[in-house]
Chain A
């Protein structure tokens, strides 16, 4: 199966192309330049693989959480491409793609993205024997200081949340930290890795049903909440 994967929910902008058993990727840390980079990256990958756009059989996208604008950019691009090509979409958690940046062993994985405003987007995962990863708590927006984690004998921590809140997170993680990297971002090749299973298992959806997941859903106060009504 040939499909494109897009991940633009954090500072990293990346696109991956899966064709047959091969995965190729373009990725760049390029804050605020995602909108100019994605389609040229996709063209570059298709040219490298010698594929035409019409040969794409699906689109995968990191659906957040992350920067609202970046999440929407990726999802809107995926929606538009998939509708035009009449192919389905798989949405993948950007926290899950990020977790796949962690070393492959038996330690639990904490993927944590700096959500600004003193908060983090966070979830805990565990590797399965087949290399896939499984959510062991839930995706949420939280503060580092109030983070509650499931039991584990060791942890890998990945993502910008570590860079911002290392000291507090060290205090919250009550098991050995086997590795920690605050300079990791969700990447399209990992979105593709998760999506390949979803396509195979029939979990793809129509493009209009591919929607962002922001986690932070309270973004404004109503008149009643402002005490003005």
Chain B
């Protein structure tokens, strides 16, 4: 059996969707963020823009071109060579199967050649552990809200590796709702961040949309109906720039309110005192502000990763991988990826 030498860094590789991310992290149980030696990222947003969405085959093709140059860059920034690595972690799922396979194969082959252990990491575990890379990291138990273009879920984290899904989206993910809504008001792909920016100039209260699923028990989300409300409002409007901004404002408030209400309910239901926000939508300014306010009022603490680690990145994969490698977990030499994979099936990390 191959043991990871704790003093040696772990290479993290993320290729589950449209971002190629790489990082080097030396496992430091006291303060994981201190062990982050370097990270590098390439976003494919521009590549997919002319297609109006992520084209899986093109995503896979680009990962093959970008991954090794990024690994070289991360090694160089850390002043290291591959021979210095103590382990390799890669995203094994969930995600686009072809894209996952690129990172998994290259990473697994590196580990094989170096004779160091490799571990396939759950992408969402990476996201929910990302706040551990900050100063003053949250200690389990906590509740995590994972909101991105592909996911909207509330997870109870009893310990690292012990997850219970409290609520999930029944249709669109929160980030997906942002992107689709932006598109129907004529903003270019990916419109979500642009929509949020536009909302800052919008008049509060001019448009009010419903807060889906808050009037019933349970912690699931549903955002597709909001889209239709926005479409009707937009079609029946004067379609000026100000109206677009006002609608964006009303839409963002509806999403953020809904997320905040469910977060508070999740904390209440579990008795947790800590809330972790992760995923691309976690970069949303209004969501951050509103949850920080709620935390003050309700007496819980809220933890956000830095903006660069809200979206997909290699650092969170290096971290989740390092934790599991330190616990003696690793993969054999068959390369496996899991396009669909529930967080609840993961083994405890200790």
Contacts and interface: CB of A to CB of B under 8 A. Distances in A.
Interface string A38-51: 11101100000000
Given A37-B334, A211-B64, 18 more contacts: A35-B335, A39-B108, A56-B113, A72-B61, A72-B98, A73-B101, A76-B67, A76-B105, A77-B109, A80-B106, A80-B110, A83-B72, A86-B83, A211-B65, A212-B61, A214-B61, A220-B55, A220-B58
Given A68-B57, A72-B98, A211-B65, A81 B334 contact: no
A39 B111 CA distance: 11
A70 to B, nearest CB: 10
A69 interface: yes
Interface string B90-118: 00000001100111111111111111000
Nearest to A85: B113
B67 A84 contact: no
A228 interface: yes
9 contacts: A68-B57, A69-B98, A72-B64, A75-B64, A77-B108, A79-B68, A85-B113, A223-B51, A226-B52
A39 B335 CA distance: 8
A5 B115 CA distance: 19
A208 B69 contact: yes
Interface residues of B, number: 40
B60 interface: yes
B71 interface: yes
B44 interface: no
B30 interface: no
A81 B115 contact: no
Nearest to B103: A76
Interface in B42-69: 50-52, 55, 57-58, 60-61, 64-65, 67-69
Given A85-B113, A220-B58, A223-B50, A79 B67 contact: yes
Contact of A83 (B65, B68, B105): B68
A78 B72 CA distance: 16
B109 A79 contact: yes
Nearest to A41: B333
Contacts of A186: none
